[in-house]
Structure 1
Amino acid sequence: MAVGTDQLRRDNVAAVLRSLRADGPATRAELAVRTGLAKATVGAIVADLEGAEAVAEGAARAGARGRPGRPVELRGRRHLGLGLELNVDYVAAVVLDLAGEVVQVETRAATPSDREQRLLELARGCLHAHPDARWAGVSLAVPGLVRSDERTVAWAPNLGLDDVDVAARVEAGLAGTAAARCAVRVANDANCASLAELHHGAAAGVSHALYLTGTVGIGAGIVVGGELMRGAAGFAGEVGHIPVGDPEAPCGCGRRGCWEAQIGLAALVPEHLGSADSADPSDPSGSAAADDRSPLALAEDLAAQAAGDPSAAQRLTRLGSDLGLGLTILAGVLDPHVVVLGGYFVPLLDHVLPTARAVLDERLGSRAQVRPELRGSVLGVHAAALGAAEQSLDRLLLDGDLAS
């Protein structure tokens, strides 16, 4: 078979898979209409997909005129994608099947000295838990700038990474596993979380949205016209280090006056995570981690504390104000319909949203500008890993590559 013909066939397979994933089950005739492919072509593709255990035909539809069609639907559990997240104080993994169903979710606390090892242990555990799977890919989300090769972390100050081929490290750690043949892809955590929100969460059906992470670091994923905006070098969304707020507040990146230094978790609960001023210089995370609880657990404790402690309540009001100020700038530039707040912001929504909304309402320049709706993520701390898992399925959904 000629290379051109083979590529065309893979493109057609991908079109059928994407149609089933985006729009749900359909008969072969309906798939032909959806994709614009000939019925005979769709029939041959469906037969091959059945042989690869990627789809199955359901029972004939009752009440249909003529020969009743049998809806084809994705059969997800044979083909899986693995999404990972490496963050300052935790690692996470999500296994996603071809139909978009979450098969497994794991999160572990981590420290600067053991987080890469914990990540690899978590990844290997997920792979071993599904011995019969065909792994479509492995993707890793990190809080930092990722080069266009989708392997090299160009700058991740909270992880102490600077021009490091993190993908190679993960591939070496997965040698000998069922996913050893998969080239690991690396992506920014906020971009991954945005993909998760588009497919599974608070931004579903929204064409213009902004996702804001909430961990030790702060980043954003930008959705324009239903597509993730990556920018000229793929670095769009690095909002944590814009100069908003107290110009003297120290940041984990080594500078002062970053927005992250005002609204990041280390600024909010320095007694647990340490401040940038008091950090151990040998600690590459930029903070002196002293608490192994997750960002969500720390935020939940602070929310409970604010109910009876005026100083804690005042801290959250200030957080809402600083959050609203930065969102005003981003909303003025990007004009999103929706802003999704993720990570540790979620347990604090009742405390910070009223103030953030008031600042947005007051500071946006014109009454004609639409105030974006502020929503909390519903995906939990594993949103970035879930988005990475979505990305790991690209080889099937974009390339139609069903090779085992």
Structure 2
Amino acid sequence: MKTTGDQQLVKRINRSVLLRLMRRRSGLSRAQLAQESGLTKSTVSLLVRELIDEGWVTETGIATAQGLGRPSIPLRIDGSRRAMVGVEIAVESLRVVAVSLTGEVIWSIEEPLSEREPGLVCRQVAQLVVRAHQVLAEQTLLVSGIGIGLPGAFDEATGTVRFAPNLGWRNVVFLPLITQALSEAGAPPVAVHVQNEADTAALSEYEFSEGEVMDSLIFVTCGTGVGAGIVLNDRLFIGLQGMAGEIGHSILQVDGLPCSCGRRGCAETFFGARALDRLPNPAQGGVYLGVVLQNLWTTFDPGALVVGGPSCDRYPGILTTARDTLAGYATRAGVVEPAVRPARYGLLASAVGAAALVLYHELRPMHAPATVSPTDEAQDHPDDLPQDDLH
């Protein structure tokens, strides 16, 4: 006999199955969703009605005839009734955005980081999040959750920032701090998710992708620090304690220049913002960026490589140089290099991706595969609706 908790988890998985299908192919009908998901027709009807009532899904209003019976009504993700709030805690600034379910930036703000002490940072973040909630409330938009990206290794299991050298943070128990600050500032109680800012930047490209959907992507962010957000097989690859993707602290030169992390010869000392500022021609830092892209390519073979961050905005030549460097390695190996493109959301990439982190968790309950046994779901939702209700 199933427990209530088990039934709720099955329901969340079923919802995520339908949402993912509609994100992949807008315009599916209830009958098509039932056929493609393997869920019973009654389950689809009940869950679609729930998703419509909650503002996740809408009917297009254009019914199409499909053989006998009532016309089918196409469904799509509703970008007009729900939003997510995304926060980027950068080394010198804060960016906060409100983003629709379809990736539209509804509102954004940026201001300098006043202090670097964790508690004070959380208070400043909370004040801006409350402003975002106020803007969304004025537009009668529902808030699905808050996502936060920060420049360090975040351990999801403990809610701890293990290592953020450019903020001077080590082993900061961040999640309780930010939830307390949000509560004290009067923010509505919604789910809060935290991740490394390069990981969130990757989600801005992955969750709001245009065109062909790929199951792997790497986003390299270049600023004071250098990091990579890695999506593999439809999941963020974060490592055992959130340290995966800390490419700024991979070694490019044995016994090279000292780095903020305590090592020497890190990639950050070659094309981090401080290193670029010292170069007569900052674009030459792109050579080292190209080396790192080459190493990421041969290690992970991703479907897409995306580069963004403040350094790319300030010195656009580094991306051109990086592409040329990568192409040189590929030519010498007799293979075709992957495409490298700039960030779609520019300097808002990490903040938008932090908002997408909310959607990422909604679509992957317990990080489990978005599938369910028809036998299991039939026990929760008897197939007691007639065929004509699936229109």
Q: Which range, TM-score by smaller chain?
A: 0.7 to 0.9
Aligned positions of 1:177-256 closer than 5 A: 179-200=187-208, 205-245=213-253, 247-256=255-264
In the alignment, the residues of structure 2 paired with residue 202 and residue 20 of structure 1 have an alpha-carbon distance, to the nearest angstrom, of: 14
Q: 2-side partners of 1:211 and 1:31: how far apart?
A: 32
1:166 corresponds to which of 174, 178, 191: 174
Counterpart among 147, 154, 169 of residue 139 in structure 1: 147
Given candidates 167, 183, 187, the residue that maps to 1:175 is 183
Structure-2 change in CA distance of 1:76 and 1:337 (3 Å): closer
Q: Aligned to 1:87, which of 87, 90, 93?
A: 90
Matched letter for residue 386 of structure 1: V
- Find the counterpart in structure 2 of residue 12 from structure 1: 14
Q: What does residue 386 of structure 2 align with? A: none
Name the residue aligned to 1:39.
41
Moved more, 336-345 or 215-224: 336-345
Give the letter for the 2:54 counterpart: A
Select 1:374's aligned residue among 316, 327, 340: 340
The range that moved more, 382-391 or 2-11, is 2-11
Quick check: 1:315 aligned with 2:282? yes
Give the Cα separation in 1 of the matches to 2:47 and 2:141: 21
**1:86-132: CA deviations, max 9, x gaps?**
11011111222334433222222324457544322211110122234
Counterparts of 2:186 and 2:81 in 1: how far apart (Å)? 13
Residues 31 and 41 of structure 2 are in contact (CA less than 8 Å); yes or no, is this contact kept in structure 1? yes
Q: Tell me the residue number matched to 1:75.
A: 78
Residues 60-86 of structure 1 deviation map (CA, whole Å, 9 limit, x = unaligned): 435654321112233344433222111
Contact kept? 2:86, 2:351, Cα under 8 Å: yes
In the TM superposition, 1:218-367 aligns within 5 A as: 218-245=226-253, 247-269=255-277, 312=280, 314-316=281-283, 318-347=284-313, 351-363=317-329, 367=333
Give the equivalent residue in structure 2 for 1:290.
none
Looking at structure 1, the residues matched to 211 and 260 of structure 2 have their Cα atoms a distance apart, in angstroms, of 30
Query: How far does residue 194 in structure 1 lie from its aligned partner after superposition?
Result: 0.7
TM-score, scaled relative to structure 1: 0.78
Per-residue deviation, 1:253: 2.3
Percent identical: 30
**Residue identity in the other structure for 2:307:** L
Deviation of residue 210 (structure 1)? 2.2
1:385 CA displacement: 1.3
Change (3 A) 1:176 1:127: farther
* TM-score w.r.t. length of structure 2: 0.81
Deviation at 1:327, TM superposition (A): 2.5
What SS does the corresponding residue of 1:103 show, helix, strand or coil?
strand
Residues 33 and 265 (structure 1), Cα distance of their counterparts in 2 relative to 1, 3 Å cut:
same
Distance in 2 (CA, whole Å) between partners of 1:187 and 1:366 is 37
Following TM superposition, where does structure 1 have runs of at least 4 consecutive aligned residues deviating by more than 6 angstroms? none
SS in 2 for 1:393: helix
Q: CA contact under 8 A between 1:201 and 1:379: conserved in structure 2?
A: no
**What is the identity, as a one-letter code, of the residue corresponding to 1:378?**
R
Equivalents in 2 of 1:163, 1:193: separation in Å? 23
Work out the CA distance in 1 between the residues paired with 2:17 and 2:34. Answer: 10
Q: Could you tell me which amino acid in structure 1 is paired with residue 223 of structure 2?
A: T
Q: 1:58 aligns with which of 41, 52, 60?
A: 60
Amino acid at match of 1:213: T
Residues 169 and 24 (structure 1 numbering): CA distance in 2 closer, same or farther, change over 3 Å? same
Residue 247 of structure 1: how far off its partner (Å):
4.1
Q: The residue matched to 1:332 in structure 2 has which SS?
A: helix
Alpha-carbon displacement from aligned partner over 1:378-399 (angstroms, at most 9, x marks no partner): 2111111111111113454334
Q: Would the aligned equivalents of 2:88 and 2:149 in 1 still touch at CA under 8 Å? A: yes
Deviation readout 1:21-65 (Å, 9 max, x if unpaired)? 332232111111221111122112222233334333232435654
Q: Contact 2:102–2:208 at 8 Å: present in 1 too? A: no
**Range 61-70 or range 236-245, more displaced:** 61-70
Quote the Cα distance in structure 2 between the aligned partners of 1:263 and 1:203.
Answer: 31
The Cα of 1:171 is off from its aligned counterpart by 1.0
Report the count of equivalent residues: 358
Q: 1:232-269 CA deviation, whole Å, 9 max, x = no partner? A: 33321110011114844232223331110110112222
Distance 1:202 1:330, change over 3 A: farther
Equivalent residue letter for 1:32: A
Q: Which residue of structure 1 aligns with residue 375 of structure 2?
A: none
The answer to whether structure 1 residue 105 and structure 2 residue 108 are counterparts is yes
Q: How many angstroms apart in 1 are the aligned matches of 2:357 and 2:220? A: 19
After superposition, what is the alpha-carbon deviation per residue over 1:142-192, rounded to whole angstroms, capped at 9, x for unaligned?
Answer: 111111326210000001111112222211121156754334221011111
State the 1:345 CA deviation.
Answer: 4.3
SS at match of 2:205: helix
Distance 1:136 1:376, change over 3 A: same
Change (3 A) 1:129 1:364: same
Q: Which amino acid aligns with 1:15?
A: V
Amino acid at match of 1:10: R
